[in-house]
Chains A and B, each alone.
Chain A
């Protein structure tokens, strides 16, 4: 395992769902980014740059959300971007976006199912973090 860190505000609460997600076969790493691209929590194999990927996740996520709005087919749920070296999956969260970097041949269906579970846990963690801060 390479980089594993919690950015400011993420705390340990985001770490566990990300860790579970990165155990899925073909997943090279995952991170939680704010809507403007700051990494809140990063769990990456190898030496991938979490800050760069967080910025990319937010930029792509915002564009995908806008495209989704214009398509008029309901809320944006997941974006899958296929490249020759990686497959990027971006899912909206209450705090921003969840990004998974996977191998190009990774099983999208399996990863997206795991991402939904992780997203639910991450959203819950974000709520409890916000409630904790409000007290």
Chain B
């Protein structure tokens, strides 16, 4: 049932009373509280929602509705707390992201608003409210003289060692790893900046699809917790290894039969060595560490010294 089908207010009151009598533990408290709020009966909505959340504190939608009630009661700080709590319970809750985006836009916190809108568009790309907000945010973004459009991926920073002069060197280093057939360094827009995967029937399409996969999966896994340090796509004719390097993605096509858990380690170590060579002399000792110039080798941090038990 949706709120618009509930009918007139008298009918709604009957339904709420019946629901509370028959199903005191029902999660539908949030739906009814939302309906009451949208019809201006905010105090009743709050009472109903508070009772429901006392029974179901882990219900993310209930937290979102309570946040909306508090926003209507001019308590945006508390509303924000509840929407953030909803995201802790359900990191992909589109309505929680949406409400936070609206709040941040009103505050003029464009950066956080854009991040929240990106999250909504990622989780629910077809949500009309999100599209409208993205358009409205675009004006704010323009006013803030920021070049990127809301909804477009915000690009993570490239490691400082990975300068344009080193693109070909990086490709060469990875090409020299065993079982690697071809390597390309791909921009977030899917352009091959170095190397190439000519063996693909559609190299440009492949590069674009891989860049999109790495970008979207990275944002999705960041929402869930953690982020993305590397991905392997196993296909029938051989795997492909993708390593995010800030706004770039390294794509390596592997030979048929190459073993996951082996080539990814070798590629990770090769990149780490190259990154270490890019450090100033005084920092070169960090090659043996897990992090080089902001880039954490996803493999060495857990493979070095532990490979025999790990894989």
Write the residues of chain A forming the contact surface with B, with a CB cutoff of 8 angstroms: 49, 51-53, 55-56, 59-60, 63-64, 66-86, 88, 104-105, 107-109, 112
- Complex-state Cα separation, A68 to B235, whole angstroms: 7
**Interface with A: B19-27, B163-171, B197-205, B275-283, which one?**
B197-205
Size of the B side of the interface (Cβ < 8 Å), in residues, is: 48
**B231 CB contacts on chain A under 8 angstroms:** 64, 79-82
- Complex-state Cα separation, A105 to B89, whole angstroms: 26
A53 and B224: CB pair below 8 A?
A: yes
**A74 CB contacts on chain B under 8 angstroms:** 235-238
Q: State the majority secondary structure of interface residues on B.
A: mixed
A-B contact pairs, 18 of them (CB 8 A): A49-B91, A52-B91, A60-B217, A63-B213, A63-B216, A67-B233, A68-B235, A69-B209, A70-B206, A70-B210, A71-B206, A71-B233, A74-B238, A76-B235, A80-B231, A88-B221, A107-B311, A108-B260
Query: Which residue from chain B places its CB closest to the CB of A88 in the assembled complex?
Result: B221
Q: Which single member of A53, A56, A83 contacts B227 (CB below 8 Å)? A: A83
Kindly provide the distance from the CB of A71 to the nearest chain B CB, expressed in whole angstroms: 5
Known interface pairs A52-B92, A73-B236. Does A67 touch B228 (Cβ–Cβ under 8 Å)? no
Q: Which single member of A69, A75, A77, A81 contacts B221 (CB below 8 Å)? A: A81
- Complex-state Cα separation, A8 to B115, whole angstroms: 33
Q: Which single member of B89, B200, B217 contacts A70 (CB below 8 Å)? A: B200
Kindly provide the distance from the CB of B111 to the nearest chain A CB, expressed in whole angstroms: 23
- Complex-state Cα separation, A67 to B27, whole angstroms: 39
Known interface pairs A56-B220, A81-B217, A81-B221. Does A76 touch B228 (Cβ–Cβ under 8 Å)? no
Query: Which residue from chain A places its CB closest to the CB of B190 in the assembled complex?
Result: A70
B311 and A108: CB pair below 8 A?
A: yes
Query: Which residue from chain A places its CB closest to the CB of B222 in the assembled complex?
Result: A83
- Complex-state Cα separation, A69 to B205, whole angstroms: 10
- Taken residue by residue from 271 to 311, chain B's Cβ proximity to chain A (1 for < 8 Å, 0 otherwise) reads as 00000000000000000000000001010001000100011
B221 and A71: CB pair below 8 A?
A: no
Known interface pairs A70-B200, A70-B205. Does A109 touch B232 (Cβ–Cβ under 8 Å)? no
Task: Say whether B56 faces chain A, with CB atoms less than 8 Å apart.
Answer: no
Known interface pairs A49-B90, A67-B209. Does A77 touch B236 (Cβ–Cβ under 8 Å)? yes
- Complex-state Cα separation, A63 to B209, whole angstroms: 8
A59 and B220: CB pair below 8 A?
A: yes
Kindly provide the distance from the CB of A4 to the nearest chain B CB, expressed in whole angstroms: 17
Kindly provide the distance from the CB of B279 to the nearest chain A CB, expressed in whole angstroms: 22
Q: Which of A56, A64, A104 has the most CB of B within 10 A?
A: A64
**A105 CB contacts on chain B under 8 angstroms:** 302, 306, 310
Kindly provide the distance from the CB of A127 to the nearest chain B CB, expressed in whole angstroms: 21
Kindly provide the distance from the CB of B107 to the nearest chain A CB, expressed in whole angstroms: 27
